[in-house]
Chain A
Amino acid sequence: MTTLRIAEAPEGAITINVNGRRIVGPLQGFGQMWQKTYRIRLVGANVDPLTVVRAWKEHFAEFWPPRNRFYGPLTGIAPGETAVLNITVSGMPLSTGVLVLYADDESFTLMTPQGHVFAGWITFSSFVDPSDGVTVAQAQVLMRANDPIYELGLRFGGGHRQEDRFWEHTLRSLAAYFGVKEPVVMERVCVDKHVQWREARNIWMNSAVRTMLYVLAAPVRWLTRRRAPAR
């Protein structure tokens, strides 16, 4: 279960950079290690954490920002399953995947593969705030940029801000599903400020570069298919 594998390509999805890619934790990435926590309080919604997580799993793709697609496993979000992601990073298309590492009634965790923007995992959970009994939905990312290109983008290209907006949108959509409109609170902690130069070679697997080349080569593939003799 350490490499991604999809049995069948979802219709309409670009599935390069998925099959055979090894998943990578934050210790294997290149850039600074960050833990980012996004929370939204579901004030006024009469829902318990189990209901929130169930809805989050069932409607996960619908809560994403526009122009970002999550092609979830047909069997739903379950441990060991692979999902395909077609997302937009700084205006560029990116095809990648994620592995469902954990999934239970209270939380689920997705882990990223080689070539993804970051090496690490994201945990989606819900809990009751003990101070006032309000149910809270939370997304927590432990990440480090996979290679030097992504690290530059995150640090100087607005990548962190873009990622923050992504999860803020997701949490606001989840809250709206329960009829709640509340602000998202974000907390960011630098776990390790050093970069790991020995991981710089991860650049070879950069999925953004490979997706861009794949998209640019589309006319060539089209012409090749047209010229190929019918069998």
Chain B
Amino acid sequence: MTARHLEADVRCGPIATVVDLHGDISSASDETLGAAYARAEACGPRPIALNFHDVDYINSSGIALIVGLLVRARKSNRALLAFGLSDHYVEIFRITRLTDFMSIFPDEELALASAKSA
């Protein structure tokens, strides 16, 4: 399997800021993920939603990076959401108990609806 370098786009929206992730999330993604999160923070104090729809592979170092984002989000009392995860990674997020702190939705529409009602 060829690794796909992570790329990230940030969309500032009225309800939440969406970070579209493309590629694999591993230890090599630290800089990209951190920079994207900083750009999302700069959009304002809205919830940040991570879009995993175009992410095929997350290894445990990648999970550790997401834990790091959760720590940053919690320090600033900001909600962090996720959507577009495959069933496999929904299960991994559940087992690693990231779901205790991060709500997961099947798609963007439901994630934004939740952010709006929060």
User: A: which residues have CB within 8 A of B?
Assistant: 1-2, 23-28, 33, 35, 101-102, 107, 109, 111, 121, 123, 125, 140, 142, 191-192
Docked CA distance A28–B99 (Å): 11
Given known A102-B59, A140-B61, contact A1–B98 (CB-CB < 8 A):
no
Docked CA distance A56–B98 (Å): 28
Pick from A2, A107, A192: contact of B71, CB below 8 A: A192
Please indicate which of the listed interface residues B63, B94, B96 has the most CB atoms of chain A within 10 Å of its own CB: B96
Docked CA distance A33–B63 (Å): 14
16 further A-B contacts with Cβ under 8 Å, apart from A2-B94, A33-B71, A191-B71, are: A1-B95, A25-B67, A25-B98, A27-B67, A27-B70, A28-B100, A33-B67, A102-B60, A107-B59, A107-B60, A109-B60, A111-B96, A123-B59, A123-B60, A142-B60, A142-B67
User: Is A28 within 8 A of B97, CB to CB?
Assistant: yes
User: Is B101 within 8 A of A123, CB to CB?
Assistant: no
Question: What total of chain B residues lie within 8 Å of the partner, measured CB to CB?
Answer: 19
* Interface presence of B68 (CB below 8 A): yes
* Interface presence of B64 (CB below 8 A): yes
B101 nearest CB across to chain A (Å)? 6
Interface of A, helix, strand, loop or mixed by DSSP: strand
User: Is B97 within 8 A of A27, CB to CB?
Assistant: yes
Pick from A27, A35, A125: contact of B98, CB below 8 A: A27
Docked CA distance A101–B96 (Å): 9
Contact code string B84-105 (vs A, CB < 8 Å = 1, else 0): 0000000010111110110000
Contacts of B100 in A (CB 8 A): 27-28
User: Is A191 within 8 A of B97, CB to CB?
Assistant: no
Which residue on A lies nearest to B67, using beta carbons?
Answer: A26
Docked CA distance A27–B70 (Å): 9
Docked CA distance A140–B26 (Å): 12
Pick from A2, A125, A140, A142: contact of B95, CB below 8 A: A2
